[in-house]
Each structure stands twice: as C-alpha cells, then as structure tokens.
Structure 1
Amino acid sequence: MKTFDRYLLREWFQIIGVVVAALLGLLLVQVMYTDLAPLLTAGATFMDVTVYLAVAVPSFLALLMPLTLLVSLLYVFGQLHRNHEFTAMRASGVSLARISVPVWCVGIVCCGLTLWLNSTIVPWSVEQSRQIRERVEFRHEAASRSADEIGARTSVAFDNRSAGRLWFMDRYSLFTHKAYGISLSFLDAQRRETRRIVASQAWRDADGKGWTFRNGRDYRFDLDSGEIVANSPFRTMTFRGVTDDPSLMLLIDRKPIDLSFWELRRLIGYLRSVNSTKAVPYEVRYFGLLADTLAPLIVIGLSVPFAVSGVRVNPAVGISKSIGLFALYYLLAQLGGTLAAKGVITPEWGAWLPSLGMSGLAFWFFLRLR
C-alpha cells in the first residue's frame, strides 16, 4: 500500500468515526421521537424502552452506510482539495483513478456489508422491535380487554390456491394465537366448494402440522348444485395436514415498508403463487433492498468528482451538486416504484433502474473529470 493510500485512509476513517457517531445520535433521537411516546403511553418500563432502542437502531445501519460515506468523503476530499494536495499529485502524473483506488476498495467492501446487513441484521431488528412493541401493547390492553380482544387483527382472509383452502376470520388474536369467528372452505380443482368448517374459534397446533376447531358445524356441498347435503355440529375437530400459517395470513395487508426482508420474500412467494397483482409493491420494495447494495459505489462515484473540482471552483459548489445528485437518486427510486406499480415496467427494473442509472451517471462524471 502506497504512503498516500495509508494517509488517505487514515484521514478518512477518522472522520468516518465522527460521522457515524453523529448520525447514530440523530437516528436515536428520531426513533425516540416517533416511538417513545406510544411506548410510554402503553406503560413501557425503563427496561422495555432500553431494550427496544437497542434492538431498533440496527435496522437503520444499511441506511447509515451511504450517508456516512457521502458526508465523510465530501469532507475529506474537500479538505485535500482545499489544501491543493490533489492538485500536486495530479501535476506529478498520478491520475484521479489511482488516487481513489483505496476509496473504491472500501466501497466494494461496504457493498458486501450492505447486502449482509439487509439480509440478516436489519430483518432481525425490524421483527424483534415489532415484537417488543406488541408485547408492551398487549400488556397494556390486558388491563381493560378480554384475552381474545388483545392484539386482535380483524377481517382476516387468506386464499391457499395450491391446497384448495379459503379462510375467513372475524378476528385473530396475536396474544392468544387463536382465530375467532372462523370459516374454512375446501375447494376442488375447479374452485368449487366441497366442504366448509365454521367454528367459534380455532388455533394452529403446536407442531404446525394441523389446525384444531372448537364449537362449530361441518357443512358438505353438492358439487353440481352447490347446495348443502350434510350439516353436523361438533365440539372439537382437528385437521392434520392443514398447515396454513397465520403469520403469513397477517402479512398481506401490511405496508411493504413495514416488512422485513425475510417477510417480503415470504409474502412475495405466496402472492406470486396465486397470481395476485398485490405482489408488485412488495416486489419493488424487495428488489429495492437488493439494489441498495450498489449505494456505496454510487455515493463514491458522485462524491469524488465534485469534491475534487478544479481549484478555481469553490468546493462548496461541488459538494452542493453532489448532494443534489444524491437526492435525485431517491427521486428516481420513487419514480421507478410508481412505474412498476402502474405496470409500465417490471418490479425488478423499477427497483434496479434508478441504481443502475445513477451508477452510469456517476461513471460518466468520473471519466470526464479534468
């Protein structure tokens, strides 16, 4: 490693530490501003809040990566530019590409780190922080509501086309893990109803390989006329082999931004299996998280050319242009999602085109730099 490479990395890593600390502080304030009041209203203890903040902050790490690179690079390269160190090196025959080699190497490492964070740490953080919020809310609701009303999600519907099962629930309690006012229809290959189970409550068995229904009726239907041919009451009935997961049923109406990477992948798999148009926004979000892998390289490609503009140009001008292009990236990401939702382009292109487009633009700026 050349002497300048070590010097550049040392100066850069010093400012990165300051930027990370500052951005983490801002993110912590933002989390406290949005989530602290609801938690305290629900009766959260000091330990609940502490654990929640510790678990929630890692969900912002992937977002923190490009912001940290942007701010730190603009500062360090701006300082080197102002001190004419870049000018001296380029006058001695060293190209900007060679000068920035260590930066690009770090950027590639950050791309891999971003992919790892988005596929492991961030999903865990999103799901665990949600569970902590729900646990606090359930404890608060337990003081004034019956068990079946705590954490209830109403009007749940789920169509398992591959297995020929159609579910309807008046409500499902995340606290008791039971469904209330439930109807399960069994359908043949032509989507004709052959049997319907209606019960006051039902729950998934502990081994996940069946469902148990309580206090209901079992209806049988004639396939040709659709009329009821049998109707028998029951106190308890268990169906082994009915493995539908209520956690998947409850994902369908959630906003894409509220789901983790794992939940998105799982929900997309289901929605694709039933050819649902609802899959598009979830696919855009899912592929967008994958496209975020390129964000560190995009940031470097946009920051370096403007931060090391000619000596006759105020560094603040280059910095402002770089920040403007960085904002343009997010505008293009929103545009890609809108076009994908309208069917103009596929969800994959809607998620990847903004990143690829900004990568090309950054490469062009880098090549034309004098």
Structure 2
Amino acid sequence: MRILDKYVIREYTKILLIILLAFSVLMIVVEVSDRMPRLIRRGATAEEMALFFLLRLPYLFLLTSPVVVLLSGMFLMNMLSKYHESIAIRSAGISIVRMVTPLFWIGLLISIVVMLLGEFVLPKTEEYRQYIYEEKIKNQKIEDKKMRSKIHYLGSSNNLYYIGFFDGYRNILKTIDITSFDPENGEIDKKITAKNAVWNGEEWIFEDCYIRYFDQGEIIVTFHEKISIAEVDITPIDFIKSAKNP
C-alpha cells in the first residue's frame, strides 16, 4: 500500500469517526429528550434507560451512514484542497481518481458492514430493546408466538383460515374455519369447520369436521369424526412465522 493511500485512509477515517460521533450524540440527545419523560413516569431504572438508548445505536448508524460517508468524503477533499495537498499530489503525476481510489474501497467496506448489520444485528437489538420497554419497563408480558388466538391467515392456495386457538407446543388447533374460493369466479366453493385439529408431523387430522360444498346454489354437507384434508397446505411453523413481532 502506498504512503498516499495510507494517508488518505487515515485522514478519511478520522473525519468519518468524528462526524459519526457527532451524529450519534445528536440523535441520542433527540431520542433521550423525546423518550426520557415517559420512561421516568413508568418507573424505569437508570440501567434500563441506558440500555434502552444504547440499543438504538445500530439503528442510528444505519440511518446516518449514507450521509456520514458522503460528508466525510467532502470534508476530506476540502481539507486536501485547503492545504494545497491535492496540488502537490497532482504535481507528482497522480490523478485525482487514483488519489480517491481508497475511498471507493472504504465505501464498499462500509456498505457490506451496513448490510450485515441490518440483516443480523439490527433485528436482534430492536427486539431486545422492545423487550426491555414492554416487559421490564411497562411490565407487560410479550405475546408467545406459539400460543395464539383468533388467527386470520391466507394460505398459498387462497384458502382463508380462521383459527380460534393455536397451541404451537402441542401442535393443536381449536375452532377451525377454512373457506375455499373458486379460482375462476371467486365465489365460495367449500367451507370446512372443525372443533379440533392435531398435527401428526405430516398433515392435520381434523376432528368433528363438517365439510360444506357449494355447487350451483346447492349445499352438500358431510361430517367426519376424523379426517385429513390434502388441500389444507399450512403447517404449525406457518402460524408461528405469521405472528407479528412484539
């Protein structure tokens, strides 16, 4: 690596860190001034508040990184021009493009870091931050995604599901209502209601199940004490994934 590259990288990194620190402090101050009164009213401890605000930093970094990278480059070029360093570099036969080449590599590296941060770190920090706010500060229990009630779900075959209760620990459904639609005219062509359903590892076994077929104004009803229905294309994991994050 050339001495020039080391110099450009060092100066750019210094400016980047200063601007990033300034933006972070500013954003944290805004966040604290907005949230602090509410946290105090709810009886949050100093440790809980500190952790609550610190966990916001990854989000703030993702939010400000494009502007910070741009401003750092502008300040660096201004500094090189102000002290006539860019003239000296060009006099040595080095083009401006070659001079700023390290900045492109730094930008690429920061882009990768931002992508990884947003993909792996940010969801976990925001989830834990929400956990602190909901459970530690507000003393509210977060919904268990494996124990849900009143679920509305649209299956891949456009089947509309209503589940009164889902027990993801035992893979049991209660109060099931499934509506199927004719793909040609969009009208209801089948309705399945059942008291219970149990997942056997491969399919749902419905108990006390009524199946109603709608055909040209006629309704045909069949009853089954136990039955597996092939067109029911959902699994327990689908209900868990469909749960909204707290």
Q: TM-score, normalised by structure 2?
A: 0.67
CA contact (8 A) 1:90 1:96 kept: yes
Q: Could you say what secondary structure the match of 1:139 adopts?
A: coil
Instruction: State whether structure 2 residue 12 is matched by structure 1 residue 12.
Output: yes
2:69 match = 69
Q: 1:166: Cα distance to partner?
A: 2.2
Instruction: State whether structure 2 residue 29 is matched by structure 1 residue 32.
Output: no
CA distance in 1, matches of 2:10, 2:77: 13
Instruction: State whether structure 2 residue 180 is matched by structure 1 residue 187.
Output: yes
Instruction: For 1:169-188, list aligned pairs within 5 A.
Output: 183-185=176-178, 187=180
CA distance in 2, matches of 1:140, 1:74: 47
1:166 match = 160
CA distance in 2, matches of 1:32, 1:184: 47
CA distance in 1, matches of 2:18, 2:100: 21
2:169 match = none
Instruction: State whether structure 2 residue 101 is matched by structure 1 residue 98.
Output: no
CA distance in 2, matches of 1:106, 1:128: 30
Instruction: For 1:325-340, list aligned pairs within 5 A.
Output: none
CA distance in 2, matches of 1:50, 1:106: 31
Corresponding letter in the other structure for 2:103:
V
Q: 1:168: Cα distance to partner?
A: 3.3
Query: Residue by residue, what CA displacement relative to the aligned partner does 1:135-166 show, whole Å, maximum 9, x if unpaired?
Result: 34762489xxxx9xxxxx9985321133x642
Corresponding letter in the other structure for 1:10:
R
Q: 1:95: Cα distance to partner?
A: 1.1
CA distance in 2, matches of 1:6, 1:137: 48
1:89 match = 89
Q: 1:63: Cα distance to partner?
A: 2.6
Structure 1 residues 18 and 42: CA distance shift in structure 2, 3 A: same
CA contact (8 A) 2:195 2:209 kept: yes
Q: Could you say what secondary structure the match of 1:193 adopts?
A: strand
Q: TM-score, normalised by structure 1?
A: 0.48
Instruction: State whether structure 2 residue 235 is matched by structure 1 residue 243.
Output: yes
Q: 1:86: Cα distance to partner?
A: 1.0
CA distance in 1, matches of 2:83, 2:175: 72
Instruction: For 1:344-363, list aligned pairs within 5 A.
Output: none
Structure 1 residues 129 and 226: CA distance shift in structure 2, 3 A: farther
* 1:220 pairs with one of 211, 224, 227: 211
Instruction: State whether structure 2 residue 48 is matched by structure 1 residue 56.
Output: no
CA distance in 1, matches of 2:47, 2:205: 37
CA distance in 2, matches of 1:42, 1:93: 65
Instruction: For 1:115-154, list aligned pairs within 5 A.
Output: 115-136=115-136, 139-140=139-140
Instruction: State whether structure 2 residue 193 is matched by structure 1 residue 196.
Output: yes
Task: Judging by fraction of residues, say which structure has more strand.
Answer: 2
CA contact (8 A) 1:42 1:140 kept: no
Query: Residue by residue, what CA displacement relative to the aligned partner does 1:326-362 show, whole Å, maximum 9, x if unpaired?
Result: xxxxxxxxxxxxxxxxxxxxxxxxxxxxxxxxxxxxx
Query: Residue by residue, what CA displacement relative to the aligned partner does 1:5-58 show, whole Å, maximum 9, x if unpaired?
Result: 222222222222222222221232233344444444444443433333233321
2:170 match = none
Larger Rg: 2
Q: Could you say what secondary structure the match of 1:222 adopts?
A: strand
1:3 match = 3
Instruction: State whether structure 2 residue 99 is matched by structure 1 residue 107.
Output: no
CA contact (8 A) 2:155 2:233 kept: no
Percent identity of equivalent pairs: 21
* 2:152 pairs with one of 153, 157, 172: 157
CA contact (8 A) 2:156 2:233 kept: no
CA distance in 1, matches of 2:118, 2:182: 39
CA contact (8 A) 1:11 1:76 kept: yes
RMSD: 4.8
Q: Could you say what secondary structure the match of 2:134 adopts?
A: helix
* 2:221 pairs with one of 215, 221, 229: 229
Q: 1:101: Cα distance to partner?
A: 1.7
